[in-house]
Amino acid sequence: MTAPKKILRLILGDQLNIEHSWFQDPPARYEYVLMEVRDEATYVTHHVQKILAFFLAMRAFKDELVEKGFSVRYFTIDDADNKHSLERNVEALIASTRYEAFEYQQPDEYRVVQNLASLCKKLSVPASMFSTEHFLTDVDFFKGVFRGHKRYVMESFYRAVRVKYNLLMDDGKPLGDRWNFDSENRKKLPDTITPPPPLTFPRNVDSLLKQLDKLKIPSIGSCDPKNFPWPVTRAEALKTLAYFCDHLLPEFGSYQDAMHTKHHFLFHSRLSFSLNVKHISPLEVVHAAIAAFKKKKGKISLPQVEGFVRQIAGWREFMRGVYWAHMPKYKTLNVLNATRALPHYFWDAKTRMNCIHHAVSQSLDEGYAHHIQRLMVTGNFAILAGIDPDHVDAWYLGIYIDALEWVQLPNTRGMSQFADGGIVGTKPYTSSAQYINKMSNYCSGCFYSFKEKFGERGCPFNSLYWDFLIRHEATLSKNPRIGMGYQLLRKMSDSDKKAIMKQAKSVLERIEEL
C-alpha cells in the first residue's frame, strides 16, 4: 500500500517561529522543509557571522521540530540533492509526487514573494500562503493610519500601535501624559559608567566555518571559531530578553544614542537577529519590557521603557509598512543623484577617521553596530560624500547580523541616505563632527580635529556637511526641518562658502586616502 500523500510546508530561514499555529496541526499530515541554499547565502556578500547565525538557527529549529515529532526534510549546504535555490528544491520535491499540496508563510522580502508566487503557478499541486503571525501590524493598518494624509509620520503610526495594543496607556492616555521622552534619551556615556557585558552563547563553529570555506561561500568580516556569540534558538533569545530587562533596560533610553570605543553594545538589547528570524515576537518583547518596568518601579523609569517600546512597536513596524507600500520602486530611488563608490575603509576599516574606523572595525568583528553608529557615522559619511545608494544598501544588507531587506532598505536608502526624498524621514540625518563629538569619545583619539574645517587636520565631516547643504540647496532649502542649517549658510560670506567648497572638493578627491 502506498503511503498517503502529505502537504509540503516551506519554512524560510527567517521564519523560525515555533509558536506559529502550523505547529498545532497534526504532524502526520505534513512534511516541513528547510534549506540552506547558495542563492540566499550569496545574493549579497554577507558577514560570515550572519551566514553562521542563519544556518545554526535553521539547524537548531529543525532539531526542535524533529524532537516534537514533526517530519522534516532539511537540505544542508553540502547536500548532494541540493539545487541551491528555494524554488528549484521545492519543484524537485513536488515532482516526486509524494505531496498533495504546497504551503508557505508570507515572505518578508519582495524578491522572495515574487519568486514563490511564480513558482506556485508552475506547480502541479495547489499552493497556499499563510501569515507569519509575527508582526503587530499589517499593510491595511499602515494604510489606515495614513489615509487622507499627505505624508507618513512615524509618531502618528507609533501612537496608533500603542493604542491598538494598549501599550503604556492609562485610561486612553499615554502613561505619564506624554507619548515621547526622546529629549531625555540623548546622553553621552560618562567615564563613571561601565555597561554590563553582553550576554553571549559561545559555540564552537570551526567545522561549519571550514565547510563554508571549502564550498567557497563568499563572506566578509571575521568570526572566532571557538566563540560564536549570538543567540540562535528561542531559548537563547528568551535569555537575552530576560538579561536585557534585568541589566540593560534601566539605562537603555538614556544612552541609546551614545557611542564608545570600548563599549560596543552599551545598553542595547542585541535582540534584532532573534526578532527578525521570529524566534521571539515583537509583542512578547515589549510586554516583557513593560512588565519589568511595572515590577521594578524606581529602578526602571518610564523614559527608558518608552524609548525601547518606540523602537519595536514604532520604528520596526513603521519601516515594514513603508517597505510594502513602496516596493519595488523604493529600491531604485536616488533623489540626490549620488553616484560615488564606497571607499575601501568600509571593507577594511583602515582610515584615520577614528569614528569610521571604530564603527567599521566593530561591524567587521561582530556583525553589529548600533543604530546611531549606522545612522550618524557610516550613514552620515555616505550621504555627505554622495555615495551611490545601491552601494550603501549592499554594504548594510551584507554586514549586519540582522540585515534583511524589508528592514534594511527603508533604514538605509530612506532614513539614512534620504534617497527616497523624505518618505521615511522628514529630513536627511546629516551632521558635522560636532554631533559625533557630543555623543562619543571618538574625536579625542582622532588624527583629525573635530573643531577644524580646513587644512590637513580639518575633520572631513565638517567641510562635507556644509558642502552637502550648498550642493543640495535647490532640493533641501525649503525643508523647514533643516531651516537652521540654511539660515547659518545664508549668513556665511561668499568667500567662506568658496573655501568650504574647495576643501570639500579636495576631501572628495582624496576620499580613498582619508
CA 165 centroid distance within chain = 23
Residue 407 C-beta: closest distance to ligand FAD, Å: 4
Query: Dihedral, CA atoms, 336, 428, 136, 286, nearest 10 degrees?
Result: 150
Q: CA 492, CA 76: separation in Å to the nearest integer? A: 62
> Binding string to ligand DLZ for residues 106 to 125, with x set by CB under 6 A, is what?
-xxx--x-------------
Residue 109 C-beta: closest distance to ligand SF4, Å: 34
The DSSP code for 376 is: I
Q: CA 437, CA 414: separation in Å to the nearest integer? A: 25
The DSSP code for 129 is: E
For ligand DLZ, give the closer residue by CB, 16 or 482: 16
Which parts of 69-98 interact with ligand DLZ (CB under 6 A)? none
Residue 261 CB partners (closer than 8 Å, separation 6+): 354, 358, 440, 441, 442, 445
> Binding string to ligand SF4 for residues 327 to 356, with x set by CB under 6 A, is what?
--------------------------xxx-
Among 273, 442, 465, 466, binds ligand SF4 (CB under 6 A): 442
- Contact between 461 and ligand SF4 per CB under 6 A: yes
CB 163 within 8 A of CB 137: no
For ligand DLZ, give the closer residue by CB, 81 or 191: 81
Q: CA 109, CA 121: separation in Å to the nearest integer? A: 19
Name the residue among 279, 210, 229, 367 with its Cα closest to residue 13.
Answer: 279
Which of the choices ligand SF4, ligand FAD, ligand DLZ, none does residue 379 contact, using the CB cut-off of 5 to 8 A by kind? ligand FAD
Residue 15 CB partners (closer than 8 Å, separation 6+): 105, 132, 277, 278
- Contact between 468 and ligand SF4 per CB under 6 A: no
- Contact between 51 and ligand DLZ per CB under 6 A: yes
Q: CA 399, CA 409: separation in Å to the nearest integer? A: 13
Which of the choices ligand FAD, ligand SF4, ligand DLZ, none does residue 409 contact, using the CB cut-off of 5 to 8 A by kind? none
Question: For residue 277, what is its C-alpha cell?
Answer: 528570524
Among 8, 9, 13, 416, binds ligand DLZ (CB under 6 A): 13
For ligand SF4, give the closer residue by CB, 322 or 342: 342
Residue 447 C-beta: closest distance to ligand SF4, Å: 7
Which of the choices ligand FAD, ligand SF4, ligand DLZ, none does residue 57 contact, using the CB cut-off of 5 to 8 A by kind? none
Among 258, 407, 436, 469, binds ligand FAD (CB under 6 A): 407
The DSSP code for 147 is: T
Q: How many CB atoms lie within 10 A of CB 29?
A: 14
Among 137, 301, 412, 463, binds ligand FAD (CB under 6 A): 412
Give whole-number Cα distances, 214 to 44, 265, 490, in Å: 19, 32, 59
- Contact between 360 and ligand SF4 per CB under 6 A: no
For ligand FAD, give the closer residue by CB, 261 or 449: 261
CB 11 within 8 A of CB 119: no
Q: Which stretch binds ligand DLZ (CB under 6 A): 46-54, 303-311, 374-382, 411-419?
A: 46-54
Which residues of the chain form contacts with ligand DLZ (CB under 6 A)?
Answer: 12-14, 35-37, 40-41, 46, 51, 54, 107-109, 112, 404
